[in-house]
Each structure stands twice: as structure tokens, then as C-alpha cells.
Structure 1
Amino acid sequence: MKAVIFDLDDTLFDHTTSATKALHSWVPALGGTSSDELVAQWFVIEQHCFDRWLNGDTTHQGQRRERLRSFLPLIGHVVPDGDAELDDIYTDFLGHYRAHWVAFPDAQPALEVARSNGWRIGVLTNGSTAQQNAKLTEIGLAALVDVVCTSEILGVSKPDPQAYLRTCEALGADPAETLMIGDNYDLDVAAARKAGLTAHHLDRAAGVTLLDLLRRRS
């Protein structure tokens, strides 16, 4: 192996915990009552709206507004008519979200092991360029990453084979010399293997860690 590509959200960066904590502080600030069920509904809405952006059905800001139009009625909050008001509300959520950004404990050690192996390190994420780079900087991992490829930069998103191939090209490594690691089996493993990479599934629920997968690199 000459390079390793990591997914970001829920692989290196603990998006689920960060968003959950944000919701538990943000919803009461809007006059609602936070609950585990409400958080679960947020993530369903998030996935639906985010996929619409990836599919080209809306803009990145548009999918944020769509989230609020679906979510605010669940907490008894009036949905504003204007986009500017929706944007202000979402900006408030982002403040709560950013306040809780955190890396997984094994993220930095894993990147350091990859670096000690002499591998080039990439991040491939379907998220927005500005926010994903901000996450890496905020959680202290940016200096350990050589290349960050986002769907915005590449013009394609996972599971399109070009997303993996163009990231390998940016790293200066052939797909056969590159390992992909991520938490989403379909996007980070099956599709990466189809593109010619070696890929391992980060199943944290089963107790798997990034360091486990780096040891199983072939």
C-alpha cells in the first residue's frame, strides 16, 4: 500500500455525537423539547435532504432549508416564509453543532500510524468543501492529511467510481495501491472495491477500530 483514504463523517469525525449534542441544546433554545425520538427524526430528515443535494435536486443551502421545513413543525415551531429567516435559524443550529465537533479517539493515532507507514493520506467525503475542511482543522487532523476530496471539488460523489479514482490520482497512487476505510459499507467499501481499491468497513458498533483496520491492510 502507498496510500490510504478515509471517509470523514462518522469515520474520523464523530458527526452523530456532535449533531446529537447540538440538537439537545438547540431545540430547547427554539422553545421545543428535545428527545431521543426527535433526534432520530432529525437524522432521517438530514439523510433525505442531503441525498437530494447529492443527486442535484437542490442546492447545498436549499437542502438545509428543506431540513428545517420538515423538522421545525415537529417541535411546534412556525416555519418562516422567507429563506433569509430559515438561513438564520440554520446558522444558529450550526453554532451549536460546531461547539460539539469532536474526533473519534482513534482518529489521530490511526493517521499517525498511516504516516509512519510512509503512506499518503486522503479524505474522501460527500460533504461540502468549506465545512469538511473546517472540521478537520477544528478537530486537529488537518496537518496529518495530504489531500481532501469532496463531492463539490470532484464533481461526482460516492459511489461513483470516479470519486475514488480521482482521489487516488490526487494522492499519486494507483487504486490497487490504495486502501479505503469508512463506516458506510455501500459507499466506502463495496463501491471502492468496485473501483479497484482495497477497502475495509469500520463497524464501530461491532467494536472495530481504525487501528484494527490498518493492521489488516491487505
Structure 2
Amino acid sequence: MKAVIFDLDNTLFDHTASVTTTLRGWLPTLAGVELTDELLAAWFEVEQRNFDAWLAGQLAHQGQRRGRLRDFLPVIGQPVPATDEELDEVFAGFLNLYEQSWAAFPDAEPALKVAKSNGWRIGVLTNGATLQQNAKLAAIGLASYIDAVATSQSLGFSKPAPEAYLLTCEALGVDPAETLMIGDNLELDVVAARAAGLSAEHLDRPAGITLLQLVPAV
């Protein structure tokens, strides 16, 4: 191996914990309701549906944020604002708390240090917006370890398109066969990466797998 490519959300960056913390603080101020498991599941469902619509080119990035609110506010008994400007103002409250809660997984920096000590090039490939994903890496203290950040927005391709993996390898200056992909999503980070010619490992955190198990010292 000459390089390793990491997914970002729920691989290096703990998106689930950050959103959970955000909703726990945001919902009482918005609707006077406390976060429940059911509301958390509902948020992630509308988040994924609207995010997928953005990846498919059906919504602008800000549009998918507005879509989340249009879908979620009725769930908590709140009226949907009539204008985009009002929706943006509501979402700004969520976003402010979300950015304050950004955190890396405890094993993220140690794994990056091992990869660096191996002499490997290090990339991040993420289905996300370039500005926000780079901001996450900077805020959680990992940006200095990364040689190339590739996003669906910057590439023009999203995982699982083979071009997403191949262009990231190209940015790192390595062949796909010399590159390991690691991520939490089995289909996007493992199956599709292998189909594009990379090696790939599944970061199955619920099963107790850690990044340090998947990034061996050589």
C-alpha cells in the first residue's frame, strides 16, 4: 500500500454524536420538546432523503437544508415557515449548535499518525459540500494529516461512482491497486471502492471494529 483514503462522516468525524448533541439542545428552544429516539430517527431519515436529493442534483445544498425542515417541523408539531429566508433562519439555529459539537472519533488521529508513519499518502473522500467538509477537518484537528480532500461537490461525482475513487487516487498520485479505502458504509466505502480497483475495509463500529485495527503499522 502507498495510500489510504478515509470516508469522513461517521468514520473520522462523529456525525451521529454531533447531530444528537445538537438536537438535544436545539429542539427545546425550537419547539419545547425533548429529544427522543423516535425524533432522532425521524431527523436522520429526512436528512438522508434530502441529502440524497442534493447528490442527485434535484436540490441545491441550501435547498436540501430547507427540505429537512419542511419534512421535520410537522413531526414536532411546528408550522413550516412560508419563505426560504425564514427557513434559513430556523436552520441557522441548528447549524450553529452543530458546528459547536463537531468532534473526531478518539481513534481518528492515532490512525492517521500510523498511516503517516507508514509513509502513506492520506486522502479523504466524502459525499459532501467542499467548504463544510474541509471546515470539519480543520475544526477537529485532522486537516494537517490529509494530503487530498475530495468531495462529491469538487469532483462532480459521488460515491459509488467509480470516478469518485479513481479521481481521488489521481489526486494522491497513486494507483488504485496501491490504495486502501476505509469507511463506515459497506456499499459506498467497500463494495464500490473494490469495484473501482482499490482495496477496502469496512469500519463496523457497532461490531467493535476500530480504525487502528484497519490501519496496520508496516
Q: TM-score range by the shorter chain?
A: over 0.9
The unaligned stretches of length 5 or more in structure 2 are none
- The equivalent residue for 2:8 is 8
Task: Identify the residue that residue 57 of structure 2 maps to in structure 1.
Answer: 56
Equivalent residue of 2:215, what SS? helix
1:149/1:167 contact within 8 Å kept: yes
Shift of 1:216: 9.0
Output the amino acid matched with 1:67.
Answer: R
How far does residue 10 in structure 1 lie from its aligned partner after superposition?
0.1
Q: Do 2:115 and 2:217's aligned partners in 1 also have CA atoms closer than 8 Å?
A: no
> What is aligned with 2:95?
94
Please list every run of 5 or more consecutive structure 1 residues that lacks an aligned counterpart in the other structure: none
1:30 maps to amino acid: L
Letter in 1 for 2:15: H
Structure 1 residue 36 displacement after superposition: 1.6
Q: Which residue of 2 aligns with 1:26?
A: 26
What SS does the corresponding residue of 1:215 show, helix, strand or coil?
Answer: coil
Alignment of 1:1-218 (within 5 A): 1-33=1-33, 34-215=35-216
Displacement of 1:31 in angstroms is 2.2
For the residues of structure 1 that align with 2:85 and 2:96, how far apart are their CA atoms?
A: 17
What is the TM-score when the length of structure 2 is the normalising length?
0.98
Query: Structure 1 residues 184 and 177, CA, compared in 2 at 3 Å: closer, same or farther?
Result: same
Please give the alpha-carbon distance, in whole angstroms, between the structure 1 residues aligned to 2:31 and 2:82: 19
Q: Alpha-carbon deviations, 1:106-146, whole Å to 9, x = none?
A: 00000000000000000000010011000000000000101
How far residue 75 of structure 1 moved from its aligned partner, in angstroms, is 1.3
| Percent of residue pairs bearing the same amino acid type | 65
Count of matched residue pairs: 217
Cα RMSD after superposing both structures: 1.1
Shift in Å, 1:215 = 2.2
C-alpha distance in 2 between matches for 1:209 and 1:176: 23
Give 2:44's aligned amino acid.
Answer: F
CA contact (8 A) 2:111 2:212 kept: yes
The structure 1 segments of at least 4 consecutive aligned residues displaced by more than 3 Å after TM superposition are none
User: What letter is aligned with 1:43?
Assistant: F
For 1:151 and 1:180, how far apart are their aligned partners in 2? 16
Q: State the Cα distance separating 1:199 from its structure 2 match.
A: 0.2
Q: Is the 8 Å Cα contact of residues 32 and 76 (structure 1) preserved in structure 2?
A: no
Distance 2:67 2:117 in 1: 44
Structure 1 residues 18-48: Cα deviation after superposition (integer angstroms, max 9, x where no partner): 0011001001110231212101100011011
TM-score normalized with structure 1 length: 0.98
Whether the 8 Å contact between 2:114 and 2:216 is mirrored in structure 1 is no
Matches of 2:39 and 2:150 in 1, distance apart?
A: 32
